[in-house]
Amino acid sequence: MEKISAALRRIKPSASMAISQLALEKKAAGEDVIALSAGEPDFDTPEPIRDAAKRAMDAGKTRYTAASGIPELKAAIARKYERDNNIKTDPADCFVATGGKQIIYNALMATLDEGDEAIVPAPYWVSYPEMVRLTGATPIILEADAAQGFKITSQQLEDAINDKTVWLLLNSPSNPTGAVYSAEELKALAEVLRKHPQVMVLMDDIYEHLVYGDTQFATMVEVAPDLQDRVVTMNGVSKAYAMTGWRIGYCTGPSWLIKAMNKLQGQSTSNPCSIAQWASVEALEGDQSFLTDWRAAFGSRRDFVVGRLNKIEDIECLTPDGAFYVYPSCAAFIGKTRADGKVIENDEDFVMGLLAEQNVASVHGGAYGLSPYFRVSYALSLPELERACDRIEAYCKGLT
């Protein structure tokens, strides 16, 4: 007998993980696949961070910790928020989990009930609406296309809020578009939120350190400190420090919610990996100078990929201000025919054809709530990106 819960039946599998898995399977079969589907830096975790993990193991720091994290890491998190974001918070109001994803999951599970609503701007990271659905609440999707820089307006937010609204989920820099909300844009959203004191904000800052050119990173509590008592400011070590496999996310938020999240984590996963926590102390407190070189490398890759894709006839690609993704439009190819004879009816058909014909893995815009686009990660070396763009061009030229 098979029995799946109603809660699990409400959600879909992660499309980005599914396509990445297809790419891995093709690679394992000996095919020359270029994976532009995973959101993962190609740099190694910096050596001082790895050394800190070794020291922790040698010192026997391999046992259970408090469910919400070791005091040393929570203190480092509080110092990071004050140093980098001008957010004053107490270590007791900081929280550590097994990746940023669990921070979001815990916050939503601790607060949402059936009948509640959470506002999710689209394009969105694939897990946001699914986590909301898992709780029994309803995600309210606000679309923001390329014409508005993939960012919602204050008027859109005002129009979406009602007495059922509990959360606004905001990600800047954005996965999948790389869009970055400016301080002024966040202030405009804050003006709306002040009218609706029941609405909390989950500010996903996981790509904070990956902004380019003259772009300045800003976060909600930094620009609207009066809202601090209803904002969860989330971050992690995965993207900035190339620690995706270490699985450490963290946040600060109102005391009552941090306690609720701790209660949930204590009865589910308990503490994150002790060794990864000690490594994360070094990540947050140690030398940050390598980030300058990494940003320069990502910036060069961004400029190359945007320039190269825009040279392909009928591809339109905005230049993002942050993260390591681009989100080009493939609207002109809807209705064309692939080499296998299949008519492209949507962006998923487009990316699946690209994988089948050219062994380039990307993710369709439908997975992120806004079509017809596709997401390309440029967290690969320039030679690999050159080969990938050549293949994308060949694929597009072959569509009839």
At 22, list the tokens: 């297809």
Cβ(86)–Cβ(222) below 8 Å: yes
pTM, full prediction: 0.95
Q: Is 108 exposed, middle or buried (0-12, 13-18, 19+ CB in 10 A)?
A: buried
The whole-number average pLDDT for the span 6-22 is 83
Range of lowest pLDDT (13-22, 35-44, 60-69, 224-233): 13-22
What mean pLDDT do residues 296-312 have?
A: 98
What string of DSSP letters covers 150-185? T---HHHHHHH--TTEEEEEEESS-TTT-----HHH
Please report where in the chains the tokens 């400016």 appear, as a residue. Answer: 182
pLDDT at 18 over 90: no
The answer to whether residue 35 scores a pLDDT higher than 80 is yes
What does the pLDDT read at residue 332? 97
